[in-house]
């Protein structure tokens, strides 16, 4: 049984029909990526799965249970965390407070400390900045914090929205190394990325989203070879 | 004040006006120090009450960016609840100035606590009934609703106690604490200060250190991110209204005991001053609301003494305008403490 199963999900922004029947599955331990152009509905898909924008139709099945309609703030205790688009860190709180907020629903102090240490192992830079106000950090550091905050809930499924946005190529490479590491430590990842090149490099499988619907899905290696994908998303002619 | 550097003639004029006021004040202070200190103390006491109400405006603004116009009227409800309780409900004898000291202390504490609880829940109910359904509407809709709630509460007050001023029992002595008449600081004043300080410290501790306080700051900064980390945003907003209501209830009773009267529209005038204090300090900023409250209290008492009571409102709003010329976001407005430190 898949960890996450999305069946025929429809979502709206007001009257705009943003998702027109998205279906996808994520198996335990995978890195699955959603690629597509601007406005294709990648972020909307994550928001709908996460309950931030509850889907109007369709099913979201996580770990065997239907979770569509569950409010976003209950998702974290079910094991879903998100590092959202635009990072959305708490900019006027310190790095430590941000990480503590990531473990908001937990009360096991020792476990929280262990997980914070784990985040610092992945992102040593965050430990150096532990007392700094998060909004004063660089874009790359803020991205690390957003991912770190999501990890603080010890999620089974991590939703990553555009982790490469606004970062230099060197930093992008580093962040993706760390994402790979997080996955190796046992967290399943659903990754939304504009930068299809790097995304397909670390993903096991990929889905191509166009105007609110899945138009193609295949193992990542196969998608990289697909001429249509190469032309549209990998910047090759 | 680095903004003076590139200053326009308006801001220069503002500096000159504030300087003239301060010099005039200084001359008076030197001429009669006892009177000056007494006025200062009165200002601090009045300011404490204004600060408590101002915190309610700023807390709510900090979290949902709404000016809760009904807040001042909730303050009035608080004073009415306290008054009704002290009158005894017919269950026990009315507590008056002639009661024993122990009964008086008990009465004051009871009035404070009950008013805090009632106003807290009134505020939560207002949010649930009137503001929550409009969470995603244009901001103007909620603002108009807030004004509507203000009128509703005022009319409840009007029906409850009538249009005339109602007297509060003299439970706290108006006698001077210091011997002689040089400096006047009454037991009443001490009561207000003594009741305000623990409330301010408690609020500050709550916001800075408790899990719920941190959740409030997180919601103030980014509601969606707060929900993603598992914070129940609606509940957090309710708790913010609860806190604001608690402060309004306490200050309502304090106002009644201090001034000896209350009236159905006291929330409008006091609310206006408190709102001004919140704006002066930088709305959304908790420290700002307290600073603004004390400033307005002091400015008011100084204007009462040295310029004339009829001019007090003009002086207070004049200072507000002058400050906003320099710092459009208020004295501490460049940094929101609800969202940040919360000291």
Q: What is the domain-level CATH number for residue A209?
A: 3.40.50.300
B225, B228, B340: best mutation site toward chain A, by most A Cβ within 10 Å? B228
A91 vs B215, B221, B229: nearest CB: B221
Q: Is residue A133 part of a domain?
A: no
Q: What is the pLDDT of residues A116-167, one digit of tens each?
A: 999 999 999 999 999 999 999 999 999 999 999 999 999 999 999 999 988 8
Q: What mean pLDDT comes out for the span B180-202?
A: 90
Of B3, B129, B156, which is closest to residue B73 (Cα–Cα)? B156
Q: Is residue A4 part of a domain?
A: yes
- Residue A208's pLDDT band, with cuts at 50, 70 and 90, is very high
pLDDT of residue B336: 46
Radius of gyration, CA atoms only, chain B? 21
Q: Within 13 Å of residue B86, how many CA atoms lie on the same side as its CB?
A: 33
Q: What mean pLDDT comes out for the span B223-240?
A: 95
Burial class of residue B132, CB neighbours in 10 A (0-12, 13-18, 19+): middle
CA angle A211, A214, A216 (to 5 degrees): 120
Residue A207: give the domain boundaries.
Answer: 1-74+188-237
- Kind and range of the H or E element at A190? strand A188-193
Residues in A touching B230 (Cβ below 8 Å):
73-77, 104-105, 153
Q: Which two tokens stand for residue B45?
A: 């006491």
Q: What is the pLDDT of residues A32-51, one digit of tens each?
A: 999 998 889 999 999 999 99
Predicted ipTM of the assembly: 0.91
- Asked if the C-beta of A75 comes within 8 angstroms of chain B's C-beta atoms, the answer is yes
- Asked if the C-beta of A48 comes within 8 angstroms of chain B's C-beta atoms, the answer is no
CA angle B21, B22, B28 (to 5 degrees): 95
Of A85, A62, A45, A86, which is closest to residue A3 (Cα–Cα)? A62
Residues ≥6 apart with Cβ < 8 Å to B190: B177
- Asked if the C-beta of A101 comes within 8 angstroms of chain B's C-beta atoms, the answer is yes
Q: Is residue A209 part of a domain?
A: yes
Q: Is residue A25 part of a domain?
A: yes
Specify the number of domains making up chain A: 1
Task: Kindly state the percentage of chain A with pLDDT values over 90.
Answer: 82
| Strand-pair category, A157-161 with A80-83 | parallel
Q: Is residue A167 part of a domain?
A: no
B211, B229, B343: best mutation site toward chain A, by most A Cβ within 10 Å? B229
Domains and CATH numbers, chain B: 32-326 (1.10.3470)
- Asked if the C-beta of A60 comes within 8 angstroms of chain B's C-beta atoms, the answer is no
Q: Is residue A197 part of a domain?
A: yes
Contact B225 A97 (CB under 8 A): no
Residues in B touching A82 (Cβ below 8 Å):
228
Residues in B touching A101 (Cβ below 8 Å):
214-215, 218, 226, 229, 231
CB distance A191 to A4 below 8 Å: no
CB distance B73 to B153 below 8 Å: yes
Q: Which two tokens stand for residue B146?
A: 């807030």
CB distance B265 to B272 below 8 Å: no
Q: Is residue A110 part of a domain?
A: no
- Kind and range of the H or E element at B121? helix B101-126
Residues in chain B: 343
Q: Is residue A34 part of a domain?
A: yes
| Axis-axis angle for helices B187-209, B33-64 (nearest 10) | 30
A149 vs B214, B221, B229: nearest CB: B229
Structure-token match 């004339």, residue found:
B308
- Asked if the C-beta of B208 comes within 8 angstroms of chain A's C-beta atoms, the answer is no
Q: What mean pLDDT comes out for the span B275-290?
A: 93
Contact B217 A93 (CB under 8 A): yes
CB distance A74 to A153 below 8 Å: no
Burial class of residue B181, CB neighbours in 10 A (0-12, 13-18, 19+): exposed
DSSP E strands in chain B: the ranges are 166-167, 261-262
Contact B232 A73 (CB under 8 A): yes
């Amino acid at each position: 049984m898949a960890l996450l199963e999305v069946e025929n999900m429809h979502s709206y922004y007001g009257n705009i029909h943003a998702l027109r029947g998205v279906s996808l599955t994520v198996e335990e331990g995978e890195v699955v990526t959603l690629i597509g152009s601007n406005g294709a509905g990648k972020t909307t898909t994550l928001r709908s799965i996460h309950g931030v924008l509850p889907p109007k139709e369709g099913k979201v099945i996580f770990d065997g249970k239907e979770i569509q309609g569950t409010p976003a703030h209950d998702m974290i205790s079910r094991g879903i965390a998100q590092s959202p688009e635009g990072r959305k860190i708490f900019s006027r709180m310190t790095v430590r407070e941000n990480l503590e907020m990531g473990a908001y629903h937990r009360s096991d102090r020792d476990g929280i400390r262990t997980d914070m240490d784990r985040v610092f192992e992945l992102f040593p830079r965050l430990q150096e900045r532990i007392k700094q106000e998060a909004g004063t950090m660089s874009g790359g550091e803020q991205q690390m914090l957003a991912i770190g905050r999501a990890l603080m809930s010890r999620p089974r499924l991590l939703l990553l929205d555009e982790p490469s946005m606004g970062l230099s190529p060197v930093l992008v490479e580093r962040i993706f190394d760390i994402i790979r590491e997080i996955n190796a430590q046992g967290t399943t990842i659903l990754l939304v990325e504009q930068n299809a090149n790097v995304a397909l490099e670390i993903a096991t499988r990929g889905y191509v989203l166009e105007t609110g619907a899945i138009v193609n899905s295949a193992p990542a290696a196969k998608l990289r070879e697909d001429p249509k994908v190469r032309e549209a998303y990998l910047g090759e002619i | 004040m680095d903004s003076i550097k590139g200053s326009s003639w308006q801001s220069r004029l503002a500096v000159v006006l504030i300087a003239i006021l301060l010099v005039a004040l200084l001359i008076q202070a030197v001429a009669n120090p006892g009177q000056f200190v007494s006025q200062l103390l009165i200002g601090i006491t009045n300011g404490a009450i204004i600060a408590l109400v101002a915190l309610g405006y700023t807390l709510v603004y900090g979290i949902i960016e709404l000016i809760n116009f009904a807040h001042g009227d909730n303050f009035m409800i608080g004073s009415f609840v306290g008054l009704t309780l002290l009158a005894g409900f017919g269950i026990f004898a009315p507590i008056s100035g002639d009661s024993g000291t122990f009964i008086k202390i008990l009465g004051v504490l009871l009035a404070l606590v009950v008013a805090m609880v009632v106003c807290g829940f009134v505020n939560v109910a207002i949010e649930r009934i009137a503001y929550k359904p409009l969470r995603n509407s244009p901001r103007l809709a909620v603002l108009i609703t807030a004004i509507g709630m203000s009128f509703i509460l005022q009319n409840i007050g009007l029906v409850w106690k009538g249009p005339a001023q109602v007297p509060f029992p003299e439970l706290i002595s108006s006698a001077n604490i210091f011997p002689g008449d040089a400096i006047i600081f009454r037991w009443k004043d001490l009561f207000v200060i003594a009741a305000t300080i623990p409330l301010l410290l408690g609020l500050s501790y709550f916001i800075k250190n408790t899990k719920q306080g941190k959740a409030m700051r997180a919601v103030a900064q980014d509601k969606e991110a707060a929900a993603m980390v598992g914070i129940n945003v609606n509940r957090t907003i309710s708790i913010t209204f609860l806190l604001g209501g608690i402060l309004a209830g306490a200050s309502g009773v304090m106002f009644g005991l201090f001034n000896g009267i209350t009236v159905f529209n006291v929330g409008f005038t006091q609310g206006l001053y408190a709102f001004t204090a919140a704006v002066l300090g930088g709305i959304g900023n908790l420290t700002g609301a307290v600073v603004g409250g004390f400033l307005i209290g002091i400015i008011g008492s100084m204007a009462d003494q040295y310029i004339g009571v009829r001019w007090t409102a003009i002086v207070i709003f004049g200072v507000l305008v002058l400050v906003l010329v320099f710092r459009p976001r208020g004295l501490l407005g460049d940094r929101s403490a609800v969202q940040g430190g919360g000291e």
